[in-house]
């Protein structure tokens, strides 16, 4: 897509290309989509105070996230079932992440196996939802470790799936060719029960395979189980961030799941500063939910984040032109961030963390 000048251009094109049910599954939030909208509003409300006469004349976007080199302080957010938007799915997004030089976070609910994804050669992190049976969690962690994943991310904001009304109205189901490949190949139950009336098939499936009563003791068990750096994704309250660090987390992701879980939850950019205050000196603090431009990445850094996860815009790029489209999205974001850093008088992302905001 050669005429795209920002990430929103990919959004428009992707919406025009994808079937309505798939588009709504990606774009939608839960409930009245209050939190989905709040994510954008909170980022837009962050007014940056650029520094002048800083003498740098240009900026280097290079960073480290969880000791992994990254060409910009961004990782590809874990997103399930990427073959919904393009036949190359996860393999294409991982290739785009590899080529631009950022970590790719593979969802346990990927439509390619973790072994196929790591084969692509990106720096790969593995994202886990807690499966019903601890032996299944154990087996998935072992597979991720053996496949060469460098970080383990556990998502803690899905005790049940949020009420995603678009999916309910569309009676959204996965097409037969898109499956939870890790679960199928691991021999775990992937039975797609018939959803109840007024329920999406994804919500019914989640209910069947995930453990809903996850507690801190489970996180302690996981911390003991693996030597990989551990990231806890889906935190908004500083008290939970402190508890995660005390349990041995190496990073937290301040996230409301892109407005897809508790509707009415705080915007993640609004929740970020208190979490940085509480744990920022003890662990890395990442942010996601609503990042749509290099300016947004700069805003997150200025609020104290170490980096961000990029979600839906990568699926827009993937839908538009596979690996090439996703790579274009990341290239645009990198150029935007470089410009924004330069205009703010910051030589690099670390300098951006000293910016003041109103
Ligand atoms: C997600 N997200 C998600 N998170 C997770 O931990 N595991 C997963 O499997 C998924 N799957 C998923 C699918 C789709 C289609 C979307 C849009 C999102 C949430 C994701 O990691 C991230 O938190 C949000 O996407 C960030 O918000 P933005 O940037 O998309 O607004």
Q: Are 45 and 335 in contact (CB under 8 A)?
A: no
Q: What is the pLDDT of residue 193?
A: 53
Measured N-to-C along each axis, helices 312-343 and 7-17 cross at an angle, to the nearest 10 degrees, of 170
Atom from ligand 1 closest to the CA of residue 256: 23
CA distances from 240 to 65, 78, 97, 122, 174 (A): 21, 21, 30, 31, 34
Q: What is the pLDDT of residue 75?
A: 99
CB 268 less than 6 A from any atom of ligand 1:
no
Q: What is the pLDDT of residue 190?
A: 60
Q: What is the pLDDT of residue 86?
A: 98
Q: What is the pLDDT of residue 192?
A: 56
User: Based on the number of CB atoms within 10 Å of its own CB, is 58 exposed (0-12), middle (13-18) or buried (19 or more)?
Assistant: exposed
| Main-chain dihedrals φ then ψ at residue 265, nearest 5 degrees | -65, 155
Question: Rounded CA gap, 154 and 233, in Å?
Answer: 6
Question: Rounded CA gap, 248 and 182, in Å?
Answer: 27
CB 63 less than 6 A from any atom of ligand 1:
no
Q: What is the pLDDT of residue 207?
A: 76
- pTM value > 0.75: yes
Pocket probe for ligand 1: among 22, 128, 311, the residue whose CB has the most ligand atoms within 8 Å is 311
Question: Rounded CA gap, 181 and 99, in Å?
Answer: 24
CB 255 less than 6 A from any atom of ligand 1:
yes
Pairing of the two strands 74-76 and 68-70: unpaired
By annotation, the residues acting in catalysis are 257
Q: What is the pLDDT of residue 198?
A: 64
Pairing of the two strands 307-310 and 74-76: parallel
CB 308 less than 6 A from any atom of ligand 1:
no
Nearest alpha carbon, ligand 1 atom 17: 26
Q: What is the pLDDT of residue 212?
A: 74
Q: What is the pLDDT of residue 191?
A: 53
CB 157 less than 6 A from any atom of ligand 1:
no
Nearest alpha carbon, ligand 1 atom 1: 79
CB 82 less than 6 A from any atom of ligand 1:
no
Query: What is the per-residue DSSP string for 72-86?
Result: SSEEEPP-S-GGGT-
Q: pLDDT 10s per residue in the chain (358 long)?
A: 889 999 999 999 999 999 999 999 999 999 999 999 999 999 999 999 999 998 878 899 999 999 999 999 999 999 999 999 999 999 999 999 999 999 999 999 999 999 999 999 999 999 999 988 899 999 999 999 999 999 999 999 999 999 999 999 999 999 999 999 999 888 876 655 556 666 778 877 777 788 778 899 999 999 999 999 999 999 999 999 999 999 999 999 999 999 999 999 999 999 999 999 999 999 999 999 999 999 999 999 999 999 999 999 999 999 999 999 999 999 999 999 999 999 999 999 999 999 999 9
Atom from ligand 1 closest to the CA of residue 26: 15
Question: Rounded CA gap, 347 and 51, in Å?
Answer: 11
| 271, two tokens | 């929740």
Atom from ligand 1 closest to the CA of residue 291: 29
Question: Rounded CA gap, 93 and 114, in Å?
Answer: 13
Question: Rounded CA gap, 310 and 1, in Å?
Answer: 19
Q: Are 135 and 214 in contact (CB under 8 A)?
A: no
Q: What is the pLDDT of residue 260?
A: 98
| 7, two tokens | 């990430």
Mark out the alpha helices in the chain (DSSP H runs). 7-17, 20-27, 34-44, 89-100, 114-119, 134-147, 165-169, 181-185, 201-209, 216-225, 238-246, 268-279, 294-302, 312-343, 349-352
CB 154 less than 6 A from any atom of ligand 1:
no
Question: Rounded CA gap, 124 and 107, in Å?
Answer: 10
Nearest alpha carbon, ligand 1 atom 25: 311
Q: How far is the CA of 239 from the centre of ligand 1 (A)?
A: 23
| Main-chain dihedrals φ then ψ at residue 232, nearest 5 degrees | -105, 120
Q: Are 348 and 61 in contact (CB under 8 A)?
A: yes
Q: How far is the CA of 218 from the centre of ligand 1 (A)?
A: 22
Nearest alpha carbon, ligand 1 atom 29: 311
| 202, two tokens | 């994804």
| 41, two tokens | 């509003």
Nearest alpha carbon, ligand 1 atom 8: 79
Measured N-to-C along each axis, helices 268-279 and 238-246 cross at an angle, to the nearest 10 degrees, of 40
| 143, two tokens | 């597979």
Q: What is the pLDDT of residue 270?
A: 98
């Amino acid at each position: 897509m050669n005429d795209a000048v920002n990430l929103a251009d990919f959004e428009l094109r992707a919406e025009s290309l994808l079937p309505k049910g798939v588009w709504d599954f990606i774009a939608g939030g839960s409930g009245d989509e209050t939190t989905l909208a709040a994510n954008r509003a909170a980022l837009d409300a962050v007014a940056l105070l650029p520094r002048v006469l800083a003498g740098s004349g240009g900026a280097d976007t290079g960073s480290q996230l969880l000791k992994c080199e990254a060409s910009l302080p961004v990782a590809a957010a874990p997103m399930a079932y990427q073959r919904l938007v393009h036949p190359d799915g996860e393999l294409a997004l991982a290739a785009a992440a590899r080529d631009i030089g950022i970590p790719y976070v593979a969802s346990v609910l990927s439509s390619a196996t973790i072994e196929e994804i790591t084969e692509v050669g990106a720096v790969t992190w593995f994202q886990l939802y807690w499966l019903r049976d601890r032996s299944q969690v154990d087996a998935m962690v072992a597979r991720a470790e053996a496949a060469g994943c460098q970080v383990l991310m556990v998502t803690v904001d899905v005790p049940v799936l949020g009420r995603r009304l678009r999916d309910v109205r569309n009676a959204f189901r996965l097409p037969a060719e898109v499956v939870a490949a890790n679960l199928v190949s691991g021999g775990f139950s992937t039975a797609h029960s018939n959803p109840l009336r007024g329920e999406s098939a994804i919500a019914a499936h989640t209910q069947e395979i995930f453990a809903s009563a996850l507690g801190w003791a489970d996180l302690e068990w996981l911390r003991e189980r693996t030597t990989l750096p551990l990231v806890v994704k889906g935190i908004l309250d500083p008290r939970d961030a402190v508890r995660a660090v005390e349990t041995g987390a190496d990073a937290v992701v301040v996230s409301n799941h892109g407005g897809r879980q508790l509707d009415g939850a705080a915007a993640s950019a609004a929740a970020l500063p208190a979490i940085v205050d509480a744990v920022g000196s003890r662990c890395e603090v990442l942010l996601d939910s609503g990042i749509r431009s290099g300016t947004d990445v700069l805003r997150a850094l200025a609020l104290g984040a170490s980096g961000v996860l990029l979600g839906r815009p990568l699926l827009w790029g993937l839908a538009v032109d596979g690996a090439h489209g996703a790579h274009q999205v990341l290239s645009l974001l990198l150029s935007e961030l470089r410009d924004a850093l330069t205009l703010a008088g910051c030589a690099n992302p670390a300098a951006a963390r000293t910016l003041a905001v109103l």
